[in-house]
A and B are shown apart, each in its own frame.
Chain A
Amino acid sequence: MDIPVIRSVMKSGRSSGLSHKSKEILTIILFLLPAVALFCVFIVWPIIRSIYFSTFDWNGLGPAVKNVGIDNYKRILTDKIFLKSLGNGLLIVLFSLTLQLPISLALAIMVGRDLPGRAFFRTIFFLPYVLSEVITAIIWLGLFNPDPDRGLINAILMLIPGVKAQAFLGDTHMVLGCIFVVLTWKYFGLHMLLYMAGLQNIPRELEEAALIDGANRWQMVRYITIPLLGPTIRTTIQLSVLGSLTQFPLVWIMTKGGPVNASEVMATYMYRYGFIRFWLGYGTAVALVMLLICLVFSIAYLRLVRQPDYLGGM
């Protein structure tokens, strides 16, 4: 049901200067103004400036003089290493969606409702998110250390007979998986928090009614809780994908995208080529390509998941 519909039905006898429609428009503008203003100054304008610089061969010092048009973009799209970084990013997205989110959801449901001691678990699971990414990377660098005397994971592995110490971050096959473990460890709490908050919106009556009607808990979760968590799930998926694609500090500090680009993601690629190599024009172009990829995903995703929400809303 639309507000304008109700409103026009109820309009009888209410006159208040402005028509309801324009009052509504005024509301919209006023409410959006602060966000849009701040946004335009600090995000949109820098993006526009970046678009300008991305067409230059420029080292970041002094004025940009050497315009190369879309050369930077052509180079990006044909660079094997960039494509590899894109692939790695997509792999991380895939792992997040299939592993991280479902586990967060399951645990949120477990600790969101009547489990004695759930407050304790909730706090513990959220703790990793409280640490900064820099510190997380440093801690896990230590944990993954190939020397069993210094790396806890290897120390534990060595207890299993016949298993050798692994190189983890030094092994091109394992490194991306290791990074994913760290990402999961850190961001798990975020998704859980959001699901927990979302669970609060689901009326207990519905769940209890289902149980009374003879559903077991699994069915209740599957047919009621999860569908009603729809909006929240969609939110976490969107955040997770965008976060995975733009991830930087964790990967950079742990592996710098190596060894030999095995854990390269778009953001580390951008940092190395843009800042370390002083190719600022090129680096900015990479950032804009990243932005484009994220934007395409966002738009497509929102189109795709436009479903009615069971509890109402648009």
Chain B
Amino acid sequence: MSRKICILLSLVLIAAFALSACGPKATPTAAPATEAPATEVPATEAPATAAPEPVTINWYHITTAENQKAVWQKLADEYMAAHPNVTINITVMENEAFKTKLATLMQSGEPPDIFQSWGGGTMNAYADAGLLKDITANLDADGGAWRNTFSPGALGVYAYKGLNYGAPWDMGMVGVWYNKTLFAQAGIANPPTTWTELIADVKALKAAGITPIATGAGDKWPTAFIYEYLATRICGQAGFVAAATRTGSFTDPCFVEAGKKLVELVDLGAFQDGFLGATWGDEATLMGNGKAAMDVMGQWAPGAYNDNSPDKKGIGDALGFFAFPAVEGGAGGAADGVGGGNGFALGKNASPEAVDFVKYLTRAESQVQCAAAGFCVPVVKGGEAGLTDPLLKLVQQGAQAAQYFQLYYDQYLPPAMGSVVNDTVQAIAAKALTPEQGAQAIEDSAKTEIK
């Protein structure tokens, strides 16, 4: 028997060596771009000298899905074909693993040339430490040629103290995704536009035996979206900005009121059983399987619902979207948005070629491609041509139209404070803290973190 095991072992070893030897070599692996490079390529303004030196660009991104990863790879291959002296090394990592890896790279003082960023407080921390490349001049060149292609709100997320450190490629808005079929079952004719209507709808759904809202309070951030929208609706831009710039406070009545409204939902039993331990995955599965009526979530929701359903079709045509309801008496506008997106930040050692490559990645044509592959809501004029999903178009229009667009609190605020907000929202939803105590906790954190 042990002899057989030895043989088996050796076979495994041999197989491993043999098969790894016949695989293709390291990245860049994909075959060179088979389509003719887009006509804009030669028009980039990279100063090409007579014999350009070889340049290597290290790019870390988190788009792991096969078909989506291929879009980035294709763009890199096109660029490398047009610029033979440039080698682009792409490392694709999963979200959490990426954050860990980035933390060590940042700590060693050698950031990657191009990497995934969500902007806001975390990016600001890197900027403060001098780890990012300032691309303000590149954006302003030629009378702002590059800068003007972006939607200003989105670009602003990657700016800090007047300087730009990154370029966005995706910006969406959180809203309410809902199941039309379940609404009909509960006798709800139209989606709610005000908080009162929302409460009435929640009650109607409960009466019909349907889970009104799915939320992943175990992961904390999904439930924080609800709180953040309530705060945005009730406090308005002025209220939040005052608190964040320390002329006001997070204990202002409007924030407490936001907490109270969250508790109102909890008390009504609006959330699914066990929501305190539920993950975002659980939330998406509930929606994707038609077991919950509403979900306060961002632009990636439909894809996730489909993935988490038996036939990958989610709830199909029954999926709808409406903007978070207005809160009567709130200081915020009904069109104000909460949301966020993705962008590329550049490390302090990035070469001019890296900046040029980011420009390539953010041209309208590139945006059309990623929109068509379903993983970005474009931020560049002309990019929306790639959007085919009518719901995502709604999201994009909402994001564009918002007068005041608030980046998720846990990205916008300094990282420590963002973490406190998430923890506190969970505590409020669990009734371990009263809305007043929760507001105080956030305020205490602001006192230490925002200088």
Provide a sorted-by-A list of 13 A–B residue pairs whose CB atoms are within 8 angstroms. A59-B415, A60-B103, A61-B107, A61-B126, A62-B129, A146-B277, A165-B274, A169-B218, A170-B277, A256-B220, A258-B426, A272-B419, A277-B420
Residues of A contacting B291 with CB < 8 Å? 147
Given A62-B129, A277-B415, A278-B416, CB of A259 within 8 Å of CB of B103: no
Given A60-B103, A61-B126, CB of A259 within 8 Å of CB of B273: no
Main secondary structure of the interface of B (DSSP, over half): helix
The answer to whether A170 and B218 touch across the interface, beta carbons within 8 angstroms, is yes
Residues of A contacting B109 with CB < 8 Å? 62
The smallest beta-carbon distance between A63 and chain B, in angstroms, is 9
Residues of A contacting B107 with CB < 8 Å? 60-61
The answer to whether A171 and B416 touch across the interface, beta carbons within 8 angstroms, is no
The answer to whether A260 and B432 touch across the interface, beta carbons within 8 angstroms, is yes
Task: Tell me if A275 is interfacial: C-beta within 8 Å of chain B.
Answer: yes
Q: How far is the CA of A255 from the CA of B427 in the complex (A)?
A: 14
The smallest beta-carbon distance between B441 and chain A, in angstroms, is 12
The answer to whether B103 and A168 touch across the interface, beta carbons within 8 angstroms, is no
Task: Tell me if A136 is interfacial: C-beta within 8 Å of chain B.
Answer: no
The answer to whether A170 and B278 touch across the interface, beta carbons within 8 angstroms, is yes
Task: Tell me if A150 is interfacial: C-beta within 8 Å of chain B.
Answer: yes
Given A259-B426, A276-B415, A279-B416, CB of A167 within 8 Å of CB of B131: no
Which residue of the partner chain, among A144, A256, A260, A279, contacts B427 with CB atoms under 8 Å? A260
Task: Tell me if B130 is interfacial: C-beta within 8 Å of chain A.
Answer: yes
Given A61-B126, A145-B282, CB of A256 within 8 Å of CB of B273: no
Residue of A nearest to B273 (CB): A146
Residues from 50 to 72 in B contacting A, C-beta threshold 8 Å: none
The answer to whether A260 and B426 touch across the interface, beta carbons within 8 angstroms, is yes
Residues from 400 to 451 in B contacting A, C-beta threshold 8 Å: 414-416, 419-420, 423, 426-427, 430, 432
Query: Which residues of B line the A interface, CB within 8 A?
Result: 100, 103, 106-107, 109, 122, 125-126, 128-131, 217-220, 272-279, 282, 285-286, 291, 414-416, 419-420, 423, 426-427, 430, 432
Q: How far is the CA of A259 from the CA of B431 in the complex (A)?
A: 11
Residues of A contacting B100 with CB < 8 Å? 275
Residues of B contacting A172 with CB < 8 Å? 276, 430, 432
5 shortest interchain CB distances as A-B pairs: A146-B274, A170-B277, A169-B277, A167-B274, A61-B129
Residues of B contacting A275 with CB < 8 Å? 100, 103
Q: How far is the CA of A59 from the CA of B107 in the complex (A)?
A: 9
Which residue of the partner chain, among A145, A167, A277, contacts B276 with CB atoms under 8 Å? A167
The answer to whether B276 and A258 touch across the interface, beta carbons within 8 angstroms, is yes
The answer to whether A278 and B415 touch across the interface, beta carbons within 8 angstroms, is yes
Which residue of the partner chain, among B218, B285, B415, contacts A259 with CB atoms under 8 Å? B218
The smallest beta-carbon distance between B308 and chain A, in angstroms, is 10
Residues of A contacting B432 with CB < 8 Å? 172, 260
Please encode chain A, from 250 to 272, with 1 for each CB lying within 8 Å of some chain B CB and 0 for all others: 00000110111000000000001
The answer to whether B125 and A59 touch across the interface, beta carbons within 8 angstroms, is yes
Query: Which residues of A line the B interface, CB within 8 A?
Result: 59-62, 141, 144-147, 150, 165-172, 175, 255-256, 258-260, 272, 275-279
The answer to whether A256 and B126 touch across the interface, beta carbons within 8 angstroms, is no
The answer to whether A277 and B273 touch across the interface, beta carbons within 8 angstroms, is no
The answer to whether B218 and A255 touch across the interface, beta carbons within 8 angstroms, is yes
Q: How far is the CA of A258 from the CA of B279 in the complex (A)?
A: 12
Most chain A CB inside 10 Å of its own CB: which residue of B109, B220, B285, B416: B416
Residue of A nearest to B431 (CB): A260
Residue of A nearest to B427 (CB): A260
Which residue of the partner chain, among A61, A147, A255, A258, contacts B106 with CB atoms under 8 Å? A61
Given A62-B109, A259-B426, A260-B432, CB of A175 within 8 Å of CB of B130: no
Q: How far is the CA of A60 from the CA of B102 in the complex (A)?
A: 12
20 further A-B contacts with Cβ under 8 Å, apart from A61-B107, A62-B129, A170-B273, are A62-B130, A145-B274, A146-B277, A146-B278, A147-B273, A150-B285, A167-B277, A168-B277, A169-B218, A170-B277, A170-B278, A258-B276, A258-B426, A259-B218, A259-B430, A260-B423, A260-B426, A260-B427, A277-B416, A278-B416
The answer to whether B277 and A61 touch across the interface, beta carbons within 8 angstroms, is no
Q: How far is the CA of A272 from the CA of B416 in the complex (A)?
A: 9
